[in-house]
Amino acid sequence: MIPISYKRHRFPPDTIRLAVWLYFRFTTSLRDVEEMLAERGIDVTYETIRCWANKFGPAIAANIRRARSRADSVWHLDEMVVRISGVRMFMWRAVDREGEVLDVLVQKRRNKKAAVKLLRKLLKNQGYVPDEIVTDGLKSYPAAMKVLGCSHLHRPGRLRDNNRVENSHLPVRRRERKMQRFKSHGQAQRFVSTHSAVYNTFNTQRHLASRHTMRIFRAAAMAEWNAASAAQR
């Protein structure tokens, strides 16, 4: 973990950390977070919260990724359409068998070149070769894997075989509606990269756990967040 410097900011680190956590953890707008802080007696504008989210969100997300253990060896890949400033773009996503988001990449195309870029980034950042890569029937995937020499890992599945990554699109769809669409390519990429790290930390399959286990998971998630957002001394 790399401690984060909150120097030269009028508000204390705990206030900034709370604002960033509320924005990325829940389906809230900047104005919603402003109201939540106001209820706690903290008078801050939503534009200031936007600056905090843009500045400290990626740094906290990077700390979270450093502390995460190695992902599962079965990867699921998929892409969804997003409209950014009226332009049709594609949000490529990779998750593991447990539903943890490995990476999200916003690109203009849905072709072989875009698939190669996603796979190269995945292999570089994860640092290992998976046992299987499950995709839908898009032809760009086998073409890209042929280029990278990993065609033997590819398992094109039916729609239900890729439900894990299809369901992973839903939280971002909710945020996209709340934000009234993404405003630019860069803003979309920054947001989904930070959001995915926070989502991985706090996402628990509550229907599979007892109440006691849920309390343990929540405490562990908050401890991970606090360590990742800790202020520099």
What the chain holds in terms of domains, given with CATH numbers, is 13-68+202-225 (no CATH), 74-194 (3.30.420.10)
pLDDT of res. 36? 96
Is 84 a residue whose pLDDT tops 90? yes
* Beta-ladder partners of 104: 93
Which whole number is the average pLDDT over 175-183? 90
Is 209 a residue whose pLDDT tops 80? no
Type of residue at 213: T
Is 165 a residue whose pLDDT tops 70? yes
| Residue in 51, 103, 60 with CA at minimum distance from that of residue 79 | 103
pLDDT of res. 81? 94
Is 14 a residue whose pLDDT tops 70? yes
* Residue 70 binned pLDDT confidence (cut-offs 50, 70, 90): confident
Which residues, other chains included, contact 77 with Cβ-Cβ below 8 Å and sequence gap of 6+?
92, 93, 94, 118, 133, 134, 135, 141, 165
* Beta-ladder partners of 87: 84
